[in-house]
Each structure stands twice: as C-alpha cells, then as structure tokens.
A and B are shown apart, each in its own frame.
Chain A
Amino acid sequence: MSFSNWYNRSLNKIWGFVEDRTSMRKWALRPQPEFTFKPSYWTGAFVVNAFLYQVISGALLLLYYQPSTGTTLTACGQAVGTQSSAPAAWCSTYYIVHSVPMGSLLLTSHLYGAYAMIFLMFVHFFRGYYMGVYKAPREFSWMVGTLLLIVTLGMGFTGYLLPYTQISYNATNVGLVLALRLPTFGPLLGPFILADGTSQGLLSRMFDAHVLLLPVALAALLYAHIALFESHGIAPPASSDPTQRRRYTVKDDERHVPFMPHIFWYITKWGLLYVGLLLGIAALWPWTLPTYVGNLAAAGAVTEPDWYFLWLFKFVDFAGVTPVLAVGITTVLIVYVLFLPFLDRSKRTHPRDRPLFIWIATSLLGFFIVMTVWGGETPGVQITPPVVAETIGPIFAVNAVVTILFHWRYVRSYRRRLASRVPNFPGVYAAPDAPPGSGLPLGAQEAKSVD
C-alpha cells in the first residue's frame, strides 16, 4: 500500500468514525467551494485565529495579574518582602514583564495580538463592504458583525487600563468623561461606570468587562456570525448581474472541498503563520511598561490612546468639537454601518455598481487613516477649522471625483457593449437609443430576488 493510500484511508476511517457519531458536516465544518481558497475569502477566519490567540494568552496573563490599586508584596523593584509603592495592577504587570519566564513575550504578544485582531477585523469589514457581501440574504450576518466590531473595540478600551500606567489611566479618563459629559445619558450612566467613584471601583469594572463580560459577549456573537455564515454559505464573488445567485451551496456548485483535511489544513497553515509572525515581532520589539498611575516624580508622557482610537482622540482636538458632537458623530457612524444593508438596496454587489456607497467607504477609510496618522503625529494639538477643512475636505472631494470618473467610464463602456453586441445582455444600463427589446436591463426580472 502506498503512503498516500494508507494516509487517506486512515484519515477517512478516523474522520468517518467522528462524522458517523456527530453528523458535524450537517451543522458545522461544512464543505466550501474550491474557488474560495485564497486569503481574501478567509479574512474572517484570520480574525478568529487572532481571537483564539488572545483568549489563550489572556488566560495565561490572568495567572499573575492582580486587579487592585492597593499596594502588594509582589516584586516590582522594591526591597524584597516590602510593600510596593506602585499599585498592585501595575506592579503585577511589571512582575510579568521582568520576573516571569517568557512573561515579556506573552504580554507583548497579547498587546500586538490585540492590534492585529483589530487590524484584521477592519480588513474583514472593508473587504465585505467593498464586495457587497452584506446584501440579501446576509443582512443579519452583517449586523452581528457590526456588533462584533463594537465589542472588539470595547475589549481594546477596557484592556488599555489594566496595566495601570499613567498614560492608560489618562486615556481611559478621556473616554469616560466623553460619556459622562453627555446630556441626560451621562448622569444616568455615571453610577454604572464609576461604581463607588474610587479608582479601584473603575479598575474592577474594566477588569470584569475585559476578562469576562465582553469576551463572553464576543464568543456568543461570534457563534451567531459563524452559524449565519454556515447557513448562507460563502458569499460568491461580487457581480453586476442582479440575478446572480447569492448563495453557493453544495447543490449549486459540485466543486466543493471537504472540511477535513483541506479546510482544516488551510486554516491551520494561516494560523501557524500568524502566531509565528506575532511571536517574532513581539520578540524583536518587546513592549516597555510606562510608569504607574500616581508616580508624579517620574517624567510624564503625552497622553494618547492606542492607534485604533487615535482618530477619535484627534477628532476632539478640533476647535468646536464638543464631547456631545464627538459621541454623536460616532453614534451616527455606528448606526450607518449597522443598517447599511437596508440603505444600499440595489441587487448588484460589484463595487462599480455602487458609486455612492463606495464613495462613502473610501472616504471613511481615508478619514480614519489621515486622522490616525495626524493623531499619532500631534496628539493633543488643537486644530482650527480652516486646517480641518484643508486636510479632511480633499479626502472626500478627490474621492468623489475619482468615483464619478470611474463610474462614468464604466457606464459608457457598458452601454457601448450593450448596444453593439449582445441582445438581452443581463446588463445594468439600457442604451438610450437601443431598439426596444434589445439590450434592455432586466427590469421586471430584476425585481425578483433569487434568494
């Protein structure tokens, strides 16, 4: 028996045994079409990989972390057996970094892993936005995904305070005062966020949210997100054809590959690459712990949040931007993203058929990138309205021009092809001078959704 024969038979035997007793292929680990085996179809799996790494590294960090603002005997630079002058939260973090074997690597990789997870999540988000995957029947999938995005950013916010450094404490205060300064909601939310008002009360709440409440919420939402994915099948490539089927199931496309071993090894490959890169980067550029809260004698550092909140931090630097306005605009953004499937109602998924929504996406992307870089360069420097207009205005304007030009070129070439060649071409735009019945768009047919 050749090796490959032996290998395949053994694998089938083992997998068959499990499959017979679980019917897993029916409710999870479903086969996927062959054409999806490129990274752009698996951006969500990368986020899940990153999340799993965060869970494991976080559980290990929890072995030594002490969520307390009091003093502790744990060694963080003081004489052995004496109480620390730093709060226990900072002290135990110092202990993880400096005393626990591999602690520095683990903590650094947990931090960079959070950056990577948030970055990959934004990649996943914008990829879905551009490819129009949120359209029917995947609206709920998209909405659950938006909630996942909010919860993940919440994980970032709550985790930032835990090392209890001066910078993280100040940045957390900025976020809280933004909430507390809201009319009506601020005083209402105050007691829930501030607890008894002490720093210990706040730290306990952030700790609870970061290690229990938000991860559980994230896991539950992730389950819903994946279950919806399994039920719809993978989103087919973007298309200008409104009759294009929006589901790819085994029935539609026989060229599916089974989960075991193909998909399993495919994801494992990317997962191992991710962990390898993450640990490599964490080993090369270990994080240095800034000074603790209340250490007034040490040289202070400029307050700033992590990169994913820099845009908001910079936004409140703008003259005239009150906390109410900042929170209001963020809320509008969230509501827009949440209800995007019900705003963009056309049945065409290709970016070239959705100029308005692509303009909004690209402008938002440009806005986030410019604001993040700007916030990193000059955190806390107030910006006057003319400078804001000069910097932010062109992003939206240039984008509008580029989008309109591309769309115009697309419409023109499509009309030409429609008029010249193919009668009843399943197209998008009718030629204005075409004879009746030739090259018309789908009209009545178009109104009928396939799924």
Chain B
Amino acid sequence: MPSFDCPPSCPFVAAQDPALSFPVGQLRRVARAGVDGEEVDETKRNVLKLLAVAGLIGAAGGGLVGGTLQYVQPPVVGISSYPRTQLVDLDGSPLTVTKVESEYNVGTSSDLIFYYPLQNEPNFLINLYPINGQPPTASNPGAQNVPGGVGTNGSIVAYSAICQHLGCPAPAISYYPPGTCPQTPGGKVFYIHCSCHGSTYDPSNSASNLTGPAVLPLPQVVLDVDSDGVIFATGMNGPPVNGHLSTLQGDYGVGTTSQLSKESPVILCSFPS
C-alpha cells in the first residue's frame, strides 16, 4: 500500500491512514465475503459505479451544452446571389446617367449613399468628372475612364461605405472632394477618408488603399447602365464588406430598387499626409 504525503489539512481524511486509503480518494478497499464465499472487491465496484455516474452526467451535460451552442447560432440572414437593383434618386425618380452627370461631380461634398446588396451595407455613389465639365488635368482635378466607371466619361463609381480597417460605416468614412483638407495622400487631392483610424482610399483606382492602417481596398459595386441611361447595381468586387461573414450574409436584401440618401460627412483633416 503506498503512503501519501498529506498535510493535516488534507481534504481526503481517509488518505491520512494508508491502511484505509486508495489513490482515487475515499474509495475504501474492503474485502468481504460474497454469497458464495468469494471475496468481493468493493473498490472495483465503487470505481465502476463512479464511472457509470460520471458517464451519465457527462452525456447529459454534453447534450445540454451542445444544444445551447446550437440555440445561440440562429440561421444567418442573407441572400444567395447579387440582385440587379435599380438605383433611385433622392426625389424618387430613377437615377440616370444624365442626372448624375448634371448634378453631381468630383466636388460634390455631401455623400450620396445607397444600400446594396443588403440593407445594412451602405455604398458611396461618386461622379469623379471635374466640376467645370472639362476633361481632367493637373489643374482641373477629377478623373475619367476609371476602373469600373460608367457613364459618358466612365467616371461614375460606387464603393462600399464601410471602412476595411475596423468597420466604421458612413458618415464616419466619407468622400473628401478636392480642397477639403490640405493633405494629399499619395498625391491625390480627392479621396475617401475614414475618421476612425485615418485610412485613406483612392476612388479613381478601385478604392485601393492610399494611407492608413487598412491594407485592403474598399469593395467596389459593379454598375450597369441600361439603354435608357438608368443605373443598376449588379454585384460587388473586391474583399467582403467589413463586419460581415460574407458580403451576401448579415441582413435582408435590398430588393429590386435602392434609394439614394444624402449624408453629412465627418470631416477630420488632422491626419498625416
């Protein structure tokens, strides 16, 4: 019989007397005569009882925990494919290329936001063509024929308005027209800037990352113009929208139309250029 180094405060009282102790604590080894005169090993019997009870408790507990884990993960809300969504102007009329090109330009300061493909995924709609309607030059800021751009000059683009760094949505992330701030990140005078942690994106180049902690570009909305000049959103390119398990999961779809809204941007010029 092994002896145990047990202090006077040892919780297993039986362990203090080696004659009565067994490694599993208080299961006493008592041999006694069975019905047919054979010795019955009580320790063996107690260990088996212990295992049976532990197994039952484990099975019941495992079932409860497993069930709870399932319960707290409801079916994810989402859509299975990108809808073809018609954009609707602020006044409720269909948004056309003509209207965008006449009313909005590179200098439009209040952001135009529409939700696509889900109801909690805001996107910027930006026309990068210069204010004066002349082709862009170094002294006439603006851009044309940009990647994914639609319209007469290929200057109408749309990007996710949720920052790819830590998920700040519009208006914390905003479009900065030329002259908004003295900084020119990456030599750009107009850009998308997030006030949360200072990430800056280039709207004339697929919203690639210019400065700041974010490393990924903003997801770009695929725009399509029909024969009447009406603008549709038909899909998204780039990384998944931030804060979502995937771009198509995490809320209900917007359906066949999505109306623009104006927002007041948060302008914060205190970032290093």
Knowing A176-B167, A297-B264, A323-B166, the reply to whether A380 touches B196 (Cβ < 8 A) is: yes
CB neighbours (8 Å) of A191 from chain B are 73, 76, 245
User: A26-67 CB contact bits vs B (8 Å, 1 = yes)?
Assistant: 000000000000000000000000000000000000000000
Within 8 A of A (CB), among B240-273: 242-245, 249-252, 261-266, 268, 270-272
Cβ of B268 and Cβ of A302 under 8 Å apart?
Answer: yes
Q: How far is the CA of A181 from the CA of B264 in the complex (A)?
A: 29
User: A307-327 CB contact bits vs B (8 Å, 1 = yes)?
Assistant: 000000000110101110000
Q: How far is the CA of A181 from the CA of B166 in the complex (A)?
A: 9
Cβ of B171 and Cβ of A300 under 8 Å apart?
Answer: yes
Cβ of B245 and Cβ of A380 under 8 Å apart?
Answer: no
Q: Assess whether A10 is interfacial by the CB under 8 Å rule.
A: no
CB neighbours (8 Å) of B270 from chain A are 378, 381
**Interface range on chain B: under 10, 10 to 19, 20 to 34, or 35 or more?**
35 or more
Q: Assess whether A382 is interfacial by the CB under 8 Å rule.
A: yes
Closest Cβ of chain B: how far from A157's Cβ, in Å?
A: 14
Q: How far is the CA of A438 from the CA of B255 in the complex (A)?
A: 89
Cβ of A380 and Cβ of B268 under 8 Å apart?
Answer: yes
Knowing A177-B166, A302-B266, the reply to whether A197 touches B249 (Cβ < 8 A) is: yes
Question: How many chain A residues touch the partner (CB < 8 A)?
Answer: 41
DSSP class of A's interface residues: helix, strand, loop or mixed? loop
User: A186-205 CB contact bits vs B (8 Å, 1 = yes)?
Assistant: 01001110111111010000
Q: Assess whether B198 is interfacial by the CB under 8 Å rule.
A: yes
Closest Cβ of chain B: how far from A271's Cβ, in Å?
A: 38
Cβ of B266 and Cβ of A301 under 8 Å apart?
Answer: yes
Q: Assess whether B172 is interfacial by the CB under 8 Å rule.
A: yes
Closest Cβ of chain B: how far from A169's Cβ, in Å?
A: 8
Closest Cβ of chain B: how far from A301's Cβ, in Å?
A: 7
Contact of B195 among A297, A298, A299, A302 (CB under 8 A): A302
DSSP class of B's interface residues: helix, strand, loop or mixed? loop
Closest Cβ of chain B: how far from A216's Cβ, in Å?
A: 16
CB neighbours (8 Å) of B76 from chain A are 191, 196-197
Q: Assess whether B212 is interfacial by the CB under 8 Å rule.
A: yes
Contact of A197 among B77, B261, B265 (CB under 8 A): B77
Cβ of B261 and Cβ of A297 under 8 Å apart?
Answer: yes
Cβ of B74 and Cβ of A298 under 8 Å apart?
Answer: no
Q: Assess whether B170 is interfacial by the CB under 8 Å rule.
A: yes
Interface residues of A (CB under 8 A from B): 166, 169-170, 173-174, 176-178, 180-181, 187, 190-192, 194-199, 201, 296-303, 316-317, 319, 321-323, 378-382, 384
29 A-B pairs within 8 Å (CB atoms) are namely A169-B169, A170-B168, A170-B172, A173-B166, A174-B167, A174-B168, A174-B196, A177-B165, A177-B166, A177-B243, A196-B76, A197-B244, A197-B251, A199-B120, A199-B251, A296-B262, A296-B264, A297-B263, A298-B264, A302-B172, A303-B168, A316-B166, A322-B213, A379-B195, A379-B196, A380-B195, A380-B196, A382-B198, A382-B213
Closest 5 CB pairs of A and B: A197-B250, A296-B263, A300-B171, A382-B198, A177-B167
Given A173-B168, A296-B263, output 12 extra A-B contacts at Cβ < 8 Å.
A170-B169, A178-B166, A190-B245, A196-B75, A300-B263, A302-B172, A302-B266, A380-B195, A380-B196, A380-B197, A380-B198, A381-B272
Interface residues of B (CB under 8 A from A): 72-78, 111, 113, 120, 165-172, 174, 194-198, 211-213, 242-245, 249-252, 261-266, 268, 270-272
